[in-house]
Amino acid sequence: MQTARTTPSRSAKRAHYDAETIHPILDEALFCTVSYVLEGQPMAIPTAFARKGDKLYIHGSVGSHFIRTIEQGGTACISVMLADGLVLAKSAFHHSVNYRSVVIFAQAEKVMDEAERMEALALITDHLIPGRWDDLRPTTDSEMRRTTVLAFSLAEASAKVRMGGPNDDPEDEDLPTWAGVIPLQTVRLAPVSAENSMETPLPDYLSGDL
């Protein structure tokens, strides 16, 4: 089974500030962690999101304590991490993780324009399930009134990327311990129908998950 091989990392943990690196990481990650400061203490909440251009959108209930704290200002730190693989070296010390991460520092802007709010909700839905939005009944005015949409600029975003194999010490190279990478992947399993959809065929945009 060991036909592939991996070569030592040449770009360990180097920071990147270009959209060509940052945007695909944000587009692939399903969830982000929003960290913020409340009365001097750090808080963190995982949530769904979507990116359009150089903006990142999140949404939540108008009544959510988290959303109400964030929308009142203060910088938020939004982080995403894609874990691509476990890096096994000959020594414990050089074990590592292949990952692509993004960190964004930004103040929330509460989106007030109704068209932008609706578009952000469509983007967040389709980010998790591409094609879903157009298959849904229109969102009602009441639902929109109960939803807050926040936007964050990507102006202060940076990415870190680690890829490749272990960087072993020269004196460890000949140790008999196996070294290499165990790739990690997030997969979607076969959809499970709700009771109200047992007779409903799966839409095309989901059948690729089977």
Window 61 to 90, contacts with a second copy (CB under 8 A): 75-77, 79, 81, 83, 86, 88-90
CA angle (116, 122, 127) in 5-degree steps: 125
Among 147, 150, 151, 162, binds a second copy (CB under 8 A): 147
DSSP 10-61: SSTTEEE--HHHHHHHHHH-SEEEEEEEETTEEEEEEEE-EEETTEEEEEEE
The answer to whether residue 2 forms part of the interface with a second copy (CB under 8 A) is: yes
Among 56, 71, 120, 165, binds a second copy (CB under 8 A): 165
Site string for a second copy, 106-125 (x = CB under 8 A): ---------------xx--x
Q: How far is the CB of 49 from a second copy (least distance, A)?
A: 12
DSSP 128: H
3 state SS of 85: strand
> How many residues belong to the site for a second copy (CB under 8 A)?
92
The stretch near a second copy (CB under 8 A) out of 20-28, 49-57, 109-117, 135-143 is: 135-143
Pairing between strand 55-61 and 75-88?
Answer: unpaired
